[in-house]
Each structure stands twice: as structure tokens, then as C-alpha cells.
Amino acid sequence: MTFRHKHLLGIEHLAPGDITEILDLAEQYVDLNRRPHKHSDTLAGLTQINMFFENSTRTQASFELAGKRLGADVMNMAMQASSIKKGETLIDTAMTLNAMHPDLLVVRHPHSGAVDLLAQKVNCAVLNAGDGRHEHPTQALLDALTIRRSKGRLHRLSIAICGDVAHSRVARSNLMLLGKMENRVRLIGPPTLVPAQFAEFGVEVFDDMREGLEGVDVVMMLRLQRERMDGGFIPSEREYYHRYGLDAEKLALAKPDAIVMHPGPMNRGVEIDGEIADDINRSVIQEQVEMGVAVRMAAMELLARNLRAAQPESVEV
Amino acid sequence: MTTLFTNARLIDPETGHDAPGCLLVDDAGRIAAREGTIPAPEGATLVDCGGHCLAPGIVDLGVKVCEPGERHKESYRSAGLAAAAGGITTMITRPDTTPAIDSPETLEFVTRRANEAAPVHVLPMAALTKGREGREMTEIGFLMDAGAVAFTDCDRVVTDTRVLSRALTYAAALGALVLSHPQEPGLSRGAAATSGKFATLRGLPAVSPMAERMGLDRDIALIEMTSAAYHADQITTARALPALERAKANGFDVTAGTSIHHLTLNEMDVSDYRTFFKVKPPLRAEDDRTAVVEAVRTGLIDVISSMHTPQDEESKRLPFEEAAAGAVALETLLPAALRLYHAGHLTLVELFRAMSLNPARRLGLEAGRLAPGAPADLVLFDPDAPFILDRWTLLSKSKNTPFDGQRMQGKVIATYVSGAPVYQRS
């Protein structure tokens, strides 16, 4: 056992061994989740609080299910509706919750770095469920598990990440994880959404989608946020779809067995053609959702192990 | 009371003098003589400087004292004591208070408070536009009569070019100095970092360093139109320097400053979202930092300021994007500046030219020199004394310094204002 982290704040701090350990453990939970009896007692007695300062249906449901299947007591707090509106600061909210002795805190926040800040102030293990445009580590891990299961490996693959990379925490976590596991990453999008400076991260940047998709093993699409239109990043949805929407013609340039991924929720007809999203031979979008629960179970189990090992004294990692 | 400083290493930026010697201060608080040796006049107080540096006190252009409005962050008393402990003998204060210092009445209140409470000279600046809102110019004439030494909207850019051009034209007629924050506000809106690899990695909204040059270019065009006296508060990027150089070569009345933080820190110091390193404009890349240090050395950038900006713990204990910008620096300006001296980038004469002589000259003050007749505003310091900064020992009410826990070198031994000690290290 090598995973020694107290929190899961981002992919940045994980070693390749940590990533493999999470994925290996997650495989076991994939099996468990497919059985009629889906329950384990790994987290029995522990309290998990999901604090979402930003709307989320899927990620929150996935974390909730993961905690419940492991036997934790799970509570959801919709933070955008509560104390923040009353002017309480993030730290105060964290201290209040901390006083209730949670063991696992799952946090999503609209500002980059907010989850790191919160983790400094509480005693429990913190999982980043997405902070601003910084990181979304469990998404990258579930993507990695999906790729590993489809392709049989998680190294020496050519992977294209397409769309609004600049504002995407999913893209950041993914390009870090895929880089650590020694894959070739390409970023595809208009230069307003994929600034050239990403090339400094050792990835290739393309503004021509056809060129970028040439011969890739994996096509990872990103969601186009509607508010990007107002920001003047792209001229219109239809021009975006024409140039950067994934359709059969563009996908034909990738390897014949290339898989198509999307973190959801999809805008059909904006970044992805509906038929491709539904094509069971190419699209692994539903499998990504399934892997999400398993990966989150694995991550929480590893953090809980370290939490228990550290008691009664807490140890900083 | 006459005072004779002996056994000092005298630093005079006006003449470029850096040598052992003695300094005689007369009973009017002015420098009477500067020689290699001076026999002690009868009844004079003798100060043996122990070979340490004696330099003109720092004239700090752009200090925020939070009166009126937020006295819990910094008062004239606390700022004055901090300045004295930092070797600063004149604070040029900013008008970005709540409310803004934009009327003669507010300015008089501030001046009265400052004179009662601060042991160092305090000279106030006033807002250039009412409420710093960029719509109507303030009563520049009345404010000058009330003691305003310069006019600035601080970190708010006057976006309406017509408003700014009229304010500059009016200020030029009165001979008023205008300070501006060169920045293209459309590009910098919402930014918390400088665009580049680091900001991308941290997922922070970022501004291109080019925004500073665009702001400066516009301002310089307006100076060409209006012939106003202009000082850019902070030049922090390499790309802005050629524009500044051209403006000076063309003979415009233009000077520029930079902050101690942009001279000694870079964007990587933000590390894991450390909000004490959030300043405005944001910290830059290392290439920009070294270019700005070099510009101070050549004299292209005239002034080094603390840009002292007190913030309470609450406004910094927030996610980086939401956290307030600014850092306290009255007490860390000198030791941080001495990092550049110890690293061999700037001499003491060059440092004090930028910290004392040039800001004094720009404001028409006699200070900043060790010449007979100049006011005896002095700082005595040991440039080598090492220490580790503990922010809780600062005299500022706010403790938001990026240098907390860092190794520093250089301690103030004593500070004199008009020949009288206002700070002595215990």
C-alpha cells in the first residue's frame, strides 16, 4: 500500500503508483456494483458530508451512492442555497461542519483553490469534487479507468481532449493524469478556448480538429458552457458545431477503434452529434458514469484507511 | 539640539557618495555638514553609528492608511510607527479610503489626524475624480491649497478618455502631479494572476502582461496631448519599459515607480493559492521581475514604493479569486530591497536613489539627500543583520505580509525625522 495522502485535492500531487492503486481498487468495486447485493461495510461508522457550492446532479449523486454502498452515513448540503447567501465565509462554514466531526468531506466550489483552502482548516479527509477551473481529480480517475478497461492499458495512447480547455477543470486534471501515465495528449479547440500556452505542458495544441483527431486512440469531448458565448469566446453555437463538433466525418479520422468520451452533461448538436454519443461501438459515455461510482468508492476507501491509521493523531502528508 | 553622527557609512544618492564619514545636524533639524571627520561642537549629542549605514530616510510614495473608513486595518498612529520602524521618514498617502479622499474637507481631516498621530512626515494625495469613479474631476485647486501633493484614483483606471484628458489638462495648468495605474481594464477585469503557465496550472483567471503596456501607451498619448506631469504608479512588466523609455526620451514629464513586491517576488511565490501574495497588478514572471530590477538600476524606473496595503485576516482568508489584493510593506520595504543589494543587483546608492531621492524630487521635497541644508530625515541601519520575519511582530495593525517566515537581511537601528529620533531599536 503506497497511497499515503490525507486528502484528494488534485491529480497534481499524485504519483503514478497512487493512480494505479486507486484504479486497481476501483476494479474490485466495479464488480461489487454489478452484483445484486452492492453493499460493503468499509466506511461503516464514518460520516461523509457532500458540500456542493455549485450545482451538480451527477457528481453529487455519484459520491452519495459511493458513500452509501460503502456503508458511510452520507449527508448532502446544497451550499449555494444556505449560509453563503447569509454572508458566512467559506472558512466559517468549514469550521461549523468540522465541529460536527465528519470523516470525509466532498467539496465542489466555483473558485479555484477553494477546496485546498478548506482542507487546511478541517481535521477530516477532503475530496475535491471540482474547484473552479483548477482540478476535478475523480473525473480524471474515472476517465482513466474507462480508458484502461477499453484499451487494455493506460500508457502510450494518443488522446485528444477537445473543446473548452481553458475553463475546464476536467481537462486540467486529465492532461496531468494522462501525462503522468506517459500518454500523448492533444488539445483541440479554437485558440480562444485552447490558448497556445498549454503547449508548455508538453501537449500538442491544434486549432484544426481534423488534423488533431488524426490517428488518436481516444477522443475526449468537453462540455461547452453556454456562458462562453456571452464572453465572446466563440461566434455562435452553429459555427462551433461546424468546426469543433464531433460528427461521424471527423471521427473517421481517428483510429478505427477509437473510443469517444464525454464527462456529461452533453449538449447534443453543439459539441457532439447525438448519434455518436449513442453509438455503443464507439461511445463509452455510460461506462464513464459507472466507473465514476467505483473510482469514488476506491478513493474514499484509501483516504479512510489513512484517516484510521492516523488516529488519534492526525498526520499531515 | 545639534547631533553629530560619527563612524557612519554615509549613503548619499544625490552625489553617489558611499563612504565612511560624519554628519552634523543643526538645532533646526537640518544637515549642517557632511565630512570625513567633524570635530564635535560643544553640547552636541554624539551618535556613534558603529560603521553602519546612514542614509536619507525613505520617501514612500503610495502608502494606504485606512483612515477614514477602516481604522481597524491601519490608523495613522499604527502606520506612522510602522513607517518609523521601517526607516520611512515621509509617507505619501493614497486616497483609496472609504470614502475616498476627494474633497478639501476630507483631506483636512486626514491631515489633522496624521499630524496628531504619526511620528513621521505625512503628505496626502487626493483622488483625481470624485469618488474615484472616473466621471468628474475633483477640486484639484482647493485640494492643492489643502495640502494634496498629487492626484490619483489609485488602482482604478479612469476609463473615459475624455474625463482623463480634461483632468490632465486642468492639472497641468495648476502644476499638479497625476499618478496613474497603467492597465487596460477590459483585459484585466476579474484577473487574479498573470497569464502564463502558472495561472493555467492553478486555474486562475489571468491578465496578459500586455495590458500594462496598453494602459501606459494610452496614458503617454494623453500626456503628449496635455503636457501634464505624470507618474505611473507601478511598472511591473518588461513589455512596458520601451514605451516608458520613449516617453522619457521625447521629453515628456513622465516618471515611473514599481513596488517592492514586484522587485523581489514572482508569480510562482503564489504557490498553493497563498493569498498574502495576491497584489495588484498580480505578481509577474521571473523574466519581468529581472527586467524591472534592471530598469531601476539604469534609472528608467525612478521610484521603489512599498505600495503598503493593509488587509485584515478575513479579507485574505478566502479563495484566491475572492481574496482582497495588497500587502503591508512599511517595515519590510528596506530589508526586502536589501535582498537586491545582497544579490549584487543594485548598490545602496541605487536603492536610495529610488527610495528616497527620486520620490522626494518628484514631489518637490528637499528630503532624500545628505547635503548641507537638507532636512535631517535619516535612517541608520545595519544592512547585514539577519532575521526571520514573524508577521505578528509587525507594528502595522494588519499583518498581511508575503515575507512571513522568510529569511531577511538588514535591520533599521534608528530613524530620525528633522534630526529627532522617532524610532530606536531596543
- In DSSP notation, B269-333 reads GGTTT-GGG--SSPP--HHHHHHHHHHHHHTSS-EEE--B----HHHHSS-TTTSPP-B--TTTH
Say if B367 falls within a structural domain: no
Residues 6+ apart with CB under 8 A from A197: B195, B196, B197, B200
Residues A150 and A256 in one domain: yes
Residue A184 phi, psi dihedral angles, 5° rounding:
-95, 120
**3-state SS track over A81-126:** HCHHHHCCCHHHHHHHHHCCCCCEEEEEECCCCHHHHHHHHCCCEE
The answer to whether residue A230 neighbours chain B at the CB level (below 8 Å) is no
Question: Which domain-ending residue is among B362, B393, B408?
Answer: B362
CA torsion angle A21 A27 A28 A34 (round to 10): 160
Residues A192 and A232 in one domain: yes
A136 in a labelled binding site: yes
B246 to chain A nearest CA, in Å?
A: 30
Most B CBs within 10 A among A84, A112, A172, hence the mutation to make, goes to A112
Count of the separate structural domains present in chain A: 2
Say if B368 falls within a structural domain: no
- Which among B195, B196, B319 has the least Cβ separation from residue A113? B319
In chain B, the N- to C-terminal Cα span, in Å, equals 23
The model's pTM is 0.93
Inter-chain residue contact A90 with B319, CB threshold 8 Å: yes
pLDDT at position B319 is 94
A293 to chain B nearest CA, in Å?
A: 26
Q: In a 3-state reduction of DSSP, which class is residue A26?
A: helix
Residues 6+ apart with CB under 8 A from A13: A5
The answer to whether B397 touches B70, Cβ cutoff 8 Å, is no
Residues B31 and B62 in one domain: no
Of the candidates B271, B204, B322, B189, the residue with the CA atom closest to the CA atom of residue A167: B204
- Fill in the DSSP letter of residue B44: P
Using a CB-CB cut-off of 8 Å, the residues of chain A touching B203 are 112-113, 131-135, 169, 172
A100 to chain B nearest CA, in Å?
A: 22
B324 to chain A nearest CA, in Å?
A: 14
| Strand-pair partners of B91 | B60, B122
Residues A48 and A160 in one domain: no
Say how far apart CA A141 and CA A3 lie, in whole Å. 14
The answer to whether residue A116 neighbours chain B at the CB level (below 8 Å) is yes
Inter-chain residue contact A132 with B197, CB threshold 8 Å: no
Say if B117 falls within a structural domain: yes
Kindly write down the DSSP assignment for every residue of B92-118, as one continuous string.
Answer: EE---SSS-S-SHHHHHHHHHHHHHH-
Residue B32: all three cell numbers together: 549642517
Residues B97 and B39 in one domain: no
Question: Which domain-ending residue is among B327, B362, B397?
Answer: B362
Residues B99 and B126 in one domain: yes
Residue A63: all three cell numbers together: 459520491
Count of the separate structural domains present in chain B: 2
Residues B62 and B43 in one domain: no
Residues A175 and A114 in one domain: no
Residues B45 and B69 in one domain: no
Residues 6+ apart with CB under 8 A from A93: A51, A79, A83, A84
Residues A126 and A170 in one domain: no
The answer to whether residue A282 neighbours chain B at the CB level (below 8 Å) is no
Say if A224 falls within a structural domain: yes
The answer to whether B378 touches B407, Cβ cutoff 8 Å, is no
The answer to whether residue A169 neighbours chain B at the CB level (below 8 Å) is yes
Using a CB-CB cut-off of 8 Å, the residues of chain A touching B271 are none
Residue B385 phi, psi dihedral angles, 5° rounding:
-55, 120
Using a CB-CB cut-off of 8 Å, the residues of chain A touching B195 are 195, 197
Q: In a 3-state reduction of DSSP, which class is residue B19?
A: strand
Residues B141 and B41 in one domain: no
Residues A166 and A262 in one domain: yes
Say if B404 falls within a structural domain: yes
pLDDT at position A317 is 47
Say if A317 falls within a structural domain: no
Please state the ipTM of this predicted complex.
0.88
Inter-chain residue contact A132 with B273, CB threshold 8 Å: no
Inter-chain residue contact A117 with B318, CB threshold 8 Å: yes
Residues B295 and B315 in one domain: yes
The answer to whether residue A134 neighbours chain B at the CB level (below 8 Å) is yes
- Which among A113, A198, A200 has the least Cβ separation from residue B202? A113
Range of the domain at A87: 7-136+290-310
Residues A249 and A146 in one domain: yes
Say if A1 falls within a structural domain: no
Residues B237 and B331 in one domain: yes
Range of the domain at B317: 58-362
Residues B29 and B133 in one domain: no
pLDDT at position A246 is 97
Residue B204 belongs to what H/E stretch?
none
Residues B391 and B338 in one domain: no
Residue A81 phi, psi dihedral angles, 5° rounding:
-95, -10
Residues A152 and A280 in one domain: yes
Say if A2 falls within a structural domain: no
Say if B309 falls within a structural domain: yes
- Which among A109, A117, A197 has the least Cβ separation from residue B196? A197
Residues A129 and A189 in one domain: no
Residue B28: all three cell numbers together: 533646526
Inter-chain residue contact B203 with A172, CB threshold 8 Å: yes
Say if B245 falls within a structural domain: yes
Say if B370 falls within a structural domain: no
Inter-chain residue contact B195 with A197, CB threshold 8 Å: yes
A91 to chain B nearest CA, in Å?
A: 7
- What is the full per-residue pLDDT of chain B (426 aa) written as tens digits? 899 999 999 999 999 999 999 999 999 999 999 999 999 999 999 999 999 999 999 999 999 999 999 999 999 999 999 999 999 999 999 999 999 999 999 999 999 999 999 999 999 999 999 999 999 999 999 999 999 999 999 999 999 999 999 999 999 999 999 999 999 999 999 999 999 999 999 999 999 999 999 999 999 999 999 999 999 999 999 999 999 999 999 999 999 999 999 999 999 999 999 999 999 999 999 999 999 999 999 999 999 999 999 999 999 999 999 999 999 999 999 999 999 999 999 999 999 999 999 999 999 999 999 999 999 999 999 999 999 999 999 999 999 999 999 999 999 999 999 999 999 998
| Strand-pair partners of B378 | B56, B416
Taking one residue from A and the other from B, the number of pairs with CB-CB distance under 8 angstroms is 61
Say if A61 falls within a structural domain: yes
A264 in a labelled binding site: yes
Residues A49 and A66 in one domain: yes
Cα A219 to Cα A240, A252, B106, distances in angstroms: 17, 11, 63
> CATH no. for residue B99?
3.20.20.140
Question: Which domain-ending residue is among B362, B387, B404?
Answer: B362
Residues B195 and B293 in one domain: yes
Low-confidence stretches of chain A (pLDDT < 50) are 314-317
Residues A273 and A173 in one domain: yes
The answer to whether A246 touches A273, Cβ cutoff 8 Å, is yes
pLDDT at position B1 is 82
> CATH no. for residue A176?
3.40.50.1370
Nearest CA in chain A to B196: A197
- Fill in the DSSP letter of residue A35: S
pLDDT at position A314 is 47
Cα A68 to Cα A13, A27, A41, A229, B232, distances in angstroms: 27, 18, 9, 39, 59
Residues B318 and B396 in one domain: no
> CATH no. for residue B46?
2.30.40.10
